Amino acid sequence: SRIFRDKDELPITSNLADPILNALQMSEYLIVICSPRLKESLWCKREIENFISMHGQEKILAVLIEGEPSESFPEELLYREKTITNANGETTVIKEPVEPLAADVRGKNKKEVKKLIKTEMLRLLASMLGCHYDDLKQRHKERKMKRMLALAAVVCFVGIAFGTVSSIMALKIHNQK
């Protein structure tokens, strides 16, 4: 029901870790905007690591805005640490490659990007709401169709009302002659 955006909600303070950690703790999902510049950000890396430790990697959704996945996704999203116990009882931690759940909004121009954002937003919402993408897409189409029908009904009503008033006025003018 609420979205935390660091630009809007972080206070001016020398210690940003506490407000960010509190926001991560209260968040159910983390949406990571992925581009080649993401790997350079130490703060983003820490946020992802902290979120994984609090909620797990399954609750992280990625949005690819530029570059290729291999150069844009941080390592924390590409691998999952897995603990394996061998026959001797020794445990080792290995990095297992995973495919992150990601929306791809890379386009050739702004119009294509806007169209992709609308589609991919439904994909992200479907995973957050725990429903199928097709179900959400159909509901979205139905709601859009209902809006169009309601708008058409209003336009028709206004047209009929205007026609009725015009006809009445025309009749009054005709009768006065």
Per-residue pLDDT at 160: 96
Q: What is the pLDDT of residue 14?
A: 52
Going edge to edge, which strands form the sheet with 102-104? 30-34, 60-64, 102-104
- Amino acid sitting at position 36: P
* 24: three-class secondary structure by DSSP: helix
pLDDT in tens, 85-136: 888 888 888 888 887 778 889 988 989 988 888 888 888 888 888 889 889 8
pLDDT for res 172: 92
Angstrom distance (rounded) from CA 10 to CA 1: 19
Sign of the alpha-carbon torsion through 4, 70, 125, 24: negative
pLDDT of residue 152: 96
Q: What is the mean pLDDT of the chain?
A: 86
Does pLDDT of 1 surpass 60?
no
CA 132 to CA 152: how far, in whole Å? 30
Give the pLDDT confidence score for residue 4 in this predicted structure: 61
The predicted structure's pLDDT at residue 20: 81
What is the amino acid identity at position 99? E
Output the pLDDT for position 2.
58
User: What percentage of the chain reaches a pLDDT higher than 70?
Assistant: 91
Give the pLDDT confidence score for residue 70 in this predicted structure.
82
pLDDT of residue 165: 95
Query: Residue 145: is its pLDDT beyond 90?
Result: yes
Q: What percent of the chain has pLDDT over 90?
A: 31
Mean pLDDT over 55-76 rounds to 88
